[in-house]
C-alpha cells in the first residue's frame, strides 16, 4: 500500500520524473508561465516553491543547490537575481495553478502554472516611453517600377526631341484618317 507516500509517480520512474520536473521548472522560471497537465503542475508547484525559497537566501550554497537541480546557468542567474528579489518580503505562495479544462486529444486535465508576481519593470518602461511619431512609409522601388519610370522618361525625351507640328496639320491628318 502507498500510505503517506506523497510523491505523484506520473507513470514514470524516479530519474525520468526528476528530469521532467527539472525541465518544467526551467521552463517556468524562464517563461514565468507554462501550460501543462494538472498533476504535473501540482508537483511542479512544490519544486518551484522550494527553489524560490533557496533563491531568497542569496548565498553560494543555495545557488549551488539550485544549480544541482536545474542544471542551467542562465535560469539559475535569473532565479537568484530577478525572481528571488521579487519574493523577498513574501513567505510562500510563489506560484498559482489555474485549471483550464481538458485537452482535446485525450481529455487530460490541463492547467496553467505561473508565478504570482509578474515583472513590474517592463510594464513601467512600456508606460513611460513616449511613442515616437510615425515616419511616412516610403514604397520600395522594385525592378518593375524602375523600368516603367525609365520608359516614361524615354517617351518624354522622344516627344521633346521630335519637331512639333502645327495644330492645323494634325487636324488634317485626323480628318484624312476618318
For residue 132, give Cα distances in angstroms to 8, 129, 135, 136, 137.
53, 9, 9, 12, 14
52 and 109 within one domain: yes
CATH code, domain with 50: 3.90.1030.10
**Is 54 inside a domain boundary?**
yes
24 and 77 within one domain: yes
**Is 76 inside a domain boundary?**
yes
Query: Domain tally for the chain?
Result: 2
Domain coverage including residue 165 = 148-177
98 and 45 within one domain: yes
- Whole-model pTM over 0.75: no
Nearest to residue 39, comparing CAs of 21, 57, 62? 21
152 and 104 within one domain: no
**Is 96 inside a domain boundary?**
yes
Nearest to residue 18, comparing CAs of 69, 72, 94? 69
Residues 20-65 pLDDT 10s: 999 999 999 999 999 999 999 999 999 999 999 999 999 999 999 9
Say what the pLDDT of residue 146 is. Answer: 64
Residues 105-138 pLDDT 10s: 999 999 999 999 988 755 555 656 556 666 666 6
Express the helix, strand and coil content of the chain in percent, nearest 5 each.
Answer: 55, 10, 30
Query: Is-contact 101 70, C-beta < 8 A?
Result: no
Q: What are 21's three cell numbers? A: 520536473
Say what the pLDDT of residue 2 is. Answer: 82
Amino acid at each position: 500500500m502507498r500510505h503517506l507516500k506523497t510523491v505523484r509517480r506520473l507513470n514514470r520512474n524516479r530519474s525520468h520524473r526528476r528530469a521532467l520536473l527539472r525541465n518544467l521548472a526551467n521552463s517556468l522560471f524562464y517563461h514565468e508561465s507554462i501550460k501543462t497537465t494538472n498533476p504535473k503542475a501540482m508537483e511542479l508547484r512544490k519544486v518551484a516553491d522550494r527553489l524560490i525559497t533557496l533563491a531568497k537566501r542569496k548565498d553560494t550554497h543555495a545557488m549551488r543547490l539550485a544549480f544541482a537541480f536545474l542544471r542551467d546557468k542562465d535560469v539559475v542567474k535569473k532565479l537568484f537575481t530577478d525572481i528571488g528579489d521579487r519574493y523577498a518580503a513574501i513567505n510562500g505562495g510563489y506560484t498559482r495553478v489555474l485549471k483550464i479544462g481538458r485537452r482535446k486529444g485525450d481529455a487530460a486535465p490541463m492547467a496553467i502554472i505561473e508565478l504570482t508576481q509578474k515583472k513590474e519593470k517592463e510594464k513601467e518602461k512600456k508606460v513611460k516611453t513616449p511613442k515616437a511619431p510615425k515616419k511616412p512609409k516610403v514604397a520600395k522601388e522594385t525592378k518593375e517600377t524602375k523600368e516603367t519610370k525609365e520608359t516614361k522618361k524615354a517617351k518624354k525625351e522622344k516627344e521633346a526631341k521630335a519637331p512639333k507640328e502645327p495644330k492645323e496639320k494634325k487636324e488634317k491628318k485626323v480628318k484624312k484618317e476618318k
